[in-house]
Amino acid sequence: MLGGDLRVNRLGFGAMRLGLGAAAGDPRAGVAVLRRAVELGVNHLDTAGFYGFGDVRAHELIRQALSPYPGELVIATKVGPLVGVGGQATAGQLRGLVEEDLRRLGVGRLDLVYLRVGGGAEPGGESIGERFAALAELRRDGLIRHLGVSHVDAAQVAEARAVAPVVAVQNEFHVHRRDDAGVLALCERDGIAYVPYFPLGGGTRRIDAARLAPVAARHGATTAQIALAWLLARSPVTLAIPGTGSLAHVAENVAAAGIALTVEDLAELAA
C-alpha cells in the first residue's frame, strides 16, 4: 500500500529502458511492451521526464499505450535533473517540471513524484529540504498525491520527512549491491516502500550471473528472475521495477513474482 491508499503489485515496470532495442527504432514496440505488462498484472509504472532515447520518450509512450488509464494503475515519476542543460533543478524550477509531467502524461494529478537528488556520485552530502518543500507545496495544491525521494542517504530521508510524508524511497540496490541496507531497514521499520533501481544491475556494481546460476537451475528460472525474486524476499516493503523493451523479457520479469525462494536459497545468495 503506497501511502496507505494506493495498492500496487510488488512487481512493477521501470520505463527507463523503453527506448532501447526495438523500441529505439519503432515506438510501437515500446507501446506493445507497456500494454503487455499491464495485461500481465503490472499496475505500478516508474518513469521520468528525462527517460528516453532520441525521439522515443517514456512519458509519450506510456500515454499512447495506456491512456485513458486503468483506474488501478499507479504512475510514479521523478523530477530534479535538468535535461539538456545538466545539473539539478532549483526549488523554483520544480513546479515547471511537475506541470510538464502532468501535461505529457495527460493526467490532472501525479500519483507519486520522487525528488531525484544528485548525479552519479554516491548519495548524501547535500541538503534537500528546500526542494522537497517545493514539492510538498505542489502536493498541497493537489497536483501530486504522494511524495518520494531517490538517490538519498538516511539523513536526507529524515530531512525530507521533517517537511512532508515520504511514502517511497528509490535507491540503487540488488542482490550484489547491498550497501543501502540501512535505508532499507529504516523503510521497513516505518512502512515506507523501498523501490530499488537497477534491480538487475547496470549501475556501479553488476550482478554476477554465475553466482545465481545454481539457484536458478533449482527453480527452472533465469538468473534475472532469481535476482528479482531475491529483492521481493529481502523485505516486505521492497517493490521491484525491472525495465525492458522486449516482450519476452517483460513476461519473464513478471513471472519472477511467482518464485518462492527457500531458506537454503537465501542463505546461498547471501554468501
114 as an active site residue: the answer is no
Q: Which of 51, 69, 114, 194 is catalytic?
A: 51
Could you tell me the sign of the dihedral formed by the alpha carbons of 34, 38, 42, 44, in that order? positive
Alpha carbon 257 to its chain centroid, in Å, reads 16
| Spatial CB neighbours of 66, under 8 Å, sequence gap ≥ 6 | 34, 35, 38, 73
Could you tell me the sign of the dihedral formed by the alpha carbons of 196, 202, 203, 208, in that order? positive
Q: Rounded CA gap, 16 and 153, in Å?
A: 22
Residues comprising the chain, all counted: 271
| Spatial CB neighbours of 170, under 8 Å, sequence gap ≥ 6 | 46, 78, 114, 148, 149, 150, 151, 194, 195, 196, 197
- CB-neighbour burial class of residue 21 (10 A; exposed 0-12, middle 13-18, buried 19+): middle
Known catalytic residues? 51
